[in-house]
Structure formats: structure tokens, C-alpha cells
Amino acid sequence: MLFESQVPDEELLWHRMGMEVTECTPDRVVGTMPVSGNRQPYGLLHGGANAVLAESLGSTAAVLNAGPGRIAVGLELSCTHHRAATDGVVTGVATPLHRGGSTATYEIVITDERGKRTCSARLTCVLRDQPPGQ
């Protein structure tokens, strides 16, 4: 875990969805997620699963840039689904568009195993001081 969580790992959504962070720097956060277990009724990767991957990676990047004693909370998420993923693993890459003192915005590109873009997302997080005692 990149930061101290207030809940057990098994209760974290990204854990339940099988996501893994494979690269984590202030300039780039990369993670993967299996299609299996995250499908909608037609057998395609659920659009909401793309949103979870995008927000998880973008929020992680925002935390890395927020600074000590600060947290990042999602403010707005926009996802465009370009093509269906039906099997394998998708990979998301979050890169900064804006890194300010009170907000941060990230582009998250999700691709399938062939490198084809399946989703483009943009996340804006509000940055604030960590609540006392947490």
C-alpha cells in the first residue's frame, strides 16, 4: 500500500477488483485489472470497472503529489469508452495534466493487452489537509 489505509486491504475496492499497481512515481502511476470478474451481462468489461481503475490510479498519483499530511479526494471523473475489452487484463496509465495546491487533474489512458485504447478518463481531485488523528 502506498499510504496508510483506515480499512483492511480486503475491504478496499481495488483489492476486490483484482487491481495491481505496477509503477508508481509522482509523474506516472500504472496499474492493471483483469477483465474476468469485472464484466457486465454481455461479457464485456464493465464501464464502471474502467472508472474504478481510472479513479484509483489518478487518486494515487494525486496523493503522491499532494505532499506530507495531505490527502486527495475525487471531485470529478469523466470516462469515454472507446472499445470493448472481453478478456485478459487492461492497463491504466495516469499522468498529470495539472498539479496545483488545492486541485490536481490527471489523464488516465486504459488499454487492452494489444495496446488498443479502450477508455480515456480525466480525474480532478481536491487536495486537502489530512483530518486530525488519521
Q: Kindly state the cell numbers that stand for 65.
A: 503529489
Distance CA 116, CA 90 (A): 10
Q: Kindly state the cell numbers that stand for 72.
A: 486527495
Q: Give the active site residue among 10, 11, 55, 113.
A: 55
Cα dihedral sign, 42-44-47-51: positive
Q: Cβ distance 33 to 89 under 8 Å? A: yes
Instruction: Output DSSP code: residue 52.
Output: H
Q: Active-site residue 23, yes or no?
A: no
**Would you name the residues annotated as active-site residues?**
55
